[in-house]
Structures are given as structure tokens and as C-alpha cells.
Amino acid sequence: MEVSSECQLQIRLITKQGLYAVPDVPLSVPQTIDTKSLNDLVNQLLKEANPEFLKPKDFDFIVIGELLRVPLIEHLQERSVSTEVTVEIEYIERTPAPEPEDSLLHDDWVCGVQTADKWILTGCYDHSVNIWTTHGKIVTSLKQHTNFVKAVAWIDKSDPSKGFVSVSHDLTGIIWSIEPGTDKIVPEAILRGHERGVDSVGVSPNASRLATGGWDTNLKLWSASLEEDEPALKRSRGGNAALVKTPLHTLKGHKEAISSINWLDNHVVCTASMDHTIKFWDAELMGIKSEIVGQKAFLSSSWSHLSNALLATSADRHIRLYDPRSSEGAVCKTTFTSHQLWVGSVTWCGYDQHLFLSGGYDAAVKLWDARSPRAPLYNLQGHQGQVLSVDWSNDKYMVSGGSDNSVHIFKNKHV
């Protein structure tokens, strides 16, 4: 590899992926070296160390905690790092581009979507709750709600047979069960207690409790159990005997609609709201533990159990990463800007603490690495309208729903 004798930098290449390790010795490279040249260098060193290493690999490079996206000297200068020291550059195998797999056409806007195993659950503005296979086949369409279905969630994503929950602007939620040994799906319990439309739902990690929120500003907690050992009444609805559940608890504190709910664990619930706040609730003591105050209405949020960090989107073009445990400086650690309009939905990857997915009103779905705030890894094309919901509950599939009446499935080639 040709290098100029002028303007050199000392670097050391390191990796946690032992398969691609190269000799850990300082190297002199041009200050202006970029990712393409670094990629060539690593592949050259790999081939020298192992002549049987035939097929070049694509790598990304992490310098001072961020992915390299500009020439190395610019990256260092922006962070006021001396060019006199040996710079450690960690390299990782590049995340491959997801492949468009399928498009599922609905009769109206799709604003709720979640996968579990080989099933995709969707909630639609035509009042329907739908189940599809990840191969694009419709399994069933259920129309028990009498208004927009705003959010859906599997009770247990590791076992879809345990049923699912949907919430609607008809002021109710419904817990649905799948009759054992059949594909028959019935409404088992109606959640009654909200005074205005319900926008969000979350299920606790142990699948024992539900949390719902909406336009009445109240957070309500419910038992996910279908046993009758709690305040509930039997009543017939549409020919099916369904329980009418009342909430176990109603938690007041927000001043505007609750747009998003996450369970951090079985005892702490996080709510994002149009009132510019994110609140963390103790679901045992029934009170607010802490809160984050933003500048705009919050539209969506996602909690990572891998990094213990919260992503949130607001009524602007930005995605923000918050560390609620932070005791130093601002709670907002990183801002990601690439969308041209508001970002309607965001979700963390379940197997990699750095990857996440976003969907915007600009019809764009973007795959991000949290170490690259200025640019996403990939723009996933396909939607012709606002993206209202994104999901990555199944590691193999990235799924998005929008105002173009469609759900798009992207195959993840990384797993």
C-alpha cells in the first residue's frame, strides 16, 4: 500500500472479533486515510497473516467511541485529539444492508406492528387487528374494535400462543387468546377504564401485567391474567364470553397524551408524553421515580435492556439517546439527525446494543448504529407515506407500517 512520507499518523488496529485479528503493532498511515483505505489495509494484513484468506471483508472503524465517517484527521480534529499519539482504531465486520422481503397491503393506515417468531401482528385505522406470516400471508383479520387500532403487542414474544393485546381509540383494549390446538382467535378480556382514546400499550417482561396510556393522560396498569380472581365481570360480546377488566391502578402525572410505553423491568414503567416529559414510574409503589423534560412533544420511545439507554423521538427531526442514570452532565447523550420530517417511531435491536431502527413522516426507514450519530448505516426504501411504526422484535426481520396502508418487511442478513 502506497503511503506518503509526509503527514503520517501512528495507528494501532484492534478488534474483538478474533477471526479477523491482525498483528497488534503500530502502523504509519496518511493522516487523510479514510474507511475505504483502512478497509483495504486490514484486508491486506489479513491476507498476509493467512494466505488462505481469499474473500475481502467489509469493516467499519470505531475511533474514540464513534464510527469513522470522514477522513481520520478530520475525525481527530473535531474531537481535539492530538495527532502526536498512537490512535487506537477498532474494526468490526460491517452490518450488511437489509434486503426488502415483502409488502403487506392493508385497507387503511397501519400504526401498530410487532413480530413474534414467524408471525406479524398489525393494528389498522380500519379498526382491524391482523396476523400475517413473515412470508406475507394473511392468517386472520379481527374487527372487534369500533375505532382506530393504535397499538398492538404480543403478551409473550417468545411464545405467541399466549395471545396478544390491542388498544384503540374506542377507549378500550382487548386481550386476545388463541384456542389451544386451533387457529381460532377470540377476545378474552375487554380493558375498560380509559376516558379517551388509547394510544399505547406495553407488556411487562414476565408477561404478568399490561400498561396502557392515551389521550386521558392517565397511565393504567392491568393484570394480563385471564383468571377471574380479580375485579372483572363476565359478559357476552359478539357471541364470545369475554371478561371486562378494570385497571389494577391508575397513575396520574402527565398533562397531555401518553404516546409511548416501555417496561424497564417488572417493576418500572417508562412513559413518553405529548407534555414534553418522559416519566419513570415505580409500578410497585405507584409513584413517579424520575423524569426527563424535553423541549417538544415526545412521539415514541424505546428502551434497551442491553445498554440501559432510552431512545426517544419528538415533534422535530431528531432522535435522542438518554441515559436516565447519568450523574454527569446532560441526560441526553447523543442526537441523531438524518430524517427530513418528524420521526414517528423508533426501536432498539434486541441482540446488539448499538443498532436501532427509526421510521419518519418523510417515508424513510433508517437503520442506525448508535456510534454514528451523523448518518444512518442504511436507508430502507419502500414506503410512499408517513412511517408510523417500526419493529425489530424478531432478530431476523425489520418491520415497518405506515400511512400508505402497507407493512414492509426487511430481511436482516446479519443473523
Provide CATH 2.130.10.10 ranges for the chain: 99-411
Which 3 state secondary structure label does DSSP give 18? helix
pLDDT computed for residue 2 by the predictor: 42
Average pLDDT of the chain is 92
In the structure, what pLDDT confidence band is assigned to residue 19 with cuts at 50, 70 and 90? confident
| pLDDT tens digits, one per residue of 200-234 | 999 999 999 999 999 999 999 999 988 754 555 55
| Mean pLDDT across 389-408 | 97
Taken in order 296, 297, 299, 301, is the CA torsion positive or negative? Answer: positive
Taking the C-alpha atoms of residue 317 and residue 296, their distance in angstroms, rounded to an integer, is: 11
Residue 122 has pLDDT above 70, yes or no: yes
**What pLDDT score was predicted for residue 370?**
97
Q: For residues 302 and 347, is the Cβ–Cβ distance under 8 A? A: yes
Q: Which helix (H) or strand (E) segment is 239 a member of?
A: none
- Identify the bridge partners of residue 82 per DSSP, sorted by sequence position: none
d(CA 110, CA 2): 54
Q: Which residues contact 333 (CB under 8 A, 6 or more apart)?
A: 309, 321, 322, 323, 326
pLDDT surpasses 70 at 61 = yes
pLDDT per residue as tens digits for the range 290-343: 999 999 999 999 999 999 999 999 999 999 999 988 766 678 999 999 999 999
pTM over 0.85? The answer is yes
The reported pLDDT for the residue numbered 327 is: 64
Pair 185, 161: CB distance under 8 Å: no
* CATH 3.10.20.90 domain position(s) in the chain: 8-93
Q: Do residues 210 and 221 make contact, with C-beta atoms less than 8 angstroms apart?
A: yes
pLDDT greater than 80 at residue 238? no
The confidence score (pLDDT) of residue 40 equals: 96
* 99-411 to CATH, choices 3.30.499.10, 2.40.40.20, 2.130.10.10, 3.40.50.970: 2.130.10.10
8-93: CATH number: 3.10.20.90
